[in-house]
Amino acid sequence: MAPLKVTFLGPAASFSHQAAVETFGDSSDLIPCVSFADAIAAVQNGDADYAIVPFENSTNGSVVQTLDLLVDRSGIYTDVEVCSEYYLTVHHCLLARKNLIPTSPRDYSSVVKLYTHPQAWGQCEIFLTKNFKSVERQDVSSTSKAAEVVLKTDREVNAAIASRFAGEHYGLDILEENIEDIANNTTRFLVLKNMKPRRAEISHEDDKTPPDQDLPQTVSNPKKTLTSFMIRQDTLGTLADALLIFKDFGLNLTSISTRPSQVEAWKYVFLVESETEQNRDMVPAIMERLKEVTENCRHLGTWVNQLVSA
């Protein structure tokens, strides 16, 4: 049987690549994409079995690009849903081309520009403030892209914030390790699949599937559900009415995120993540109740809570 096709934000050696390897294994066909949108579109179009995208970081919060894609204002990803999650401990390194920056004694005065993904700046602020207070920061599409850019830049001394995985992949000097502000800095990734898969479900022993499919569905493995909806602004208490539905069904709300609806100013899409230890599928009944008090409500997926199960 053909290996699983899994998309992730590239280029190779990004944290998304590392999460894909640890989730699906090297035997899968891991496909780097230039954006989160491309990674998810491949699943929607049936060109990939799964996409793995970062959802939130324990230090720096939600990944806004992923939230916007899940909100799906244009209705592009109607067949895509969350089927699993993966927690990756994220350790950042300072990388530069070989033998450009002296480390004994450590001297970063020659560095002209720093490159990394926007999420990484907020995860390494203490180190950056101490060592690179006046150095220009340049956003790039991924941490591995930052390493790639630094490798190809020979006109000036630049540095990247990325993983050891990326440093070794691109043959860069690893000047500093573990520069993140908090030692247990962790990113939660969501695994997405097409509800109408391009082929039969995989059950071959040599194919590694998302963690959910390997866990017994018992009360010891709580499930999470992600739902999106908008509320009317001309009616008092509509948000409270919507949230009380989750309580009525015995679900614990674990997070609420908002994104502009772009339908009208100051009207938002709510993304509500909830958790339950019950085995029965309550989603259809919850969605029916939500339709009575919200607009454009959508079930975005149900999966096993890997943080509890780990």
Tens digit of each residue's pLDDT (9 = 90 or more) over 193-249: 999 865 444 433 344 556 554 433 444 578 999 999 999 888 889 999 999 999 999
Question: From its phi and psi, is residue 237 left (phi > 0), alpha (psi between -120 and 50) or beta?
Answer: left
Q: Inform me whether the pLDDT recorded for 173 exceeds 50.
A: yes
According to CATH, the topology of domain 93-176 is D-Maltodextrin-Binding Protein; domain 2 (3.40.190)
Average pLDDT over every residue of 247-267: 93
pLDDT given for residue 204 in this prediction: 34
Q: Give the ranges where the chain is alpha helix by DSSP (H).
A: 15-24, 36-44, 64-71, 118-123, 125-131, 143-152, 164-170, 238-248, 283-293, 306-309
Average pLDDT over every residue of 252-264: 94
pLDDT given for residue 104 in this prediction: 78
Q: Is 204 exposed, middle or buried (0-12, 13-18, 19+ CB in 10 A)?
A: exposed
65-74, 136-145, 227-236, 288-297: which range is least confident on average?
227-236
The CATH homologous superfamily to which domain 5-90+185-197 belongs is: Periplasmic binding protein-like II (3.40.190.10)
At 308, the pLDDT band (50, 70, 90 cuts) reads low
Tens digit of each residue's pLDDT (9 = 90 or more) over 5-41: 999 998 899 999 999 999 999 888 999 999 999 999 9
Give start-end residues of each CATH 3.30.70.260 domain in the chain. 223-309
Average pLDDT over every residue of 260-277: 92
Share of the chain above pLDDT 90, in %: 76
Are 177 and 164 within 8 A, CB to CB?
Answer: yes
pLDDT given for residue 102 in this prediction: 83
Average pLDDT over every residue of 101-126: 91
Give start-end residues of each CATH 3.40.190.10 domain in the chain. 5-90+185-197, 93-176
Are 35 and 29 within 8 A, CB to CB?
Answer: no
Residue indicated by tokens 């908002």: 258
β-strands 295-304, 223-230 pairing: antiparallel
SS3 (DSSP) at 144? helix
Cα 191-246-293 angle, rounded to 5 deg: 105
End-to-end C-alpha distance for the chain, whole angstroms? 29
**Could you count the other beta carbons within 10 Å of the beta carbon of residue 73?**
14
C-alpha to C-alpha distance for 152 and 155, rounded to whole angstroms: 9
pLDDT given for residue 154 in this prediction: 82
Domain at 223-309: CATH code: 3.30.70.260
pLDDT given for residue 205 in this prediction: 39
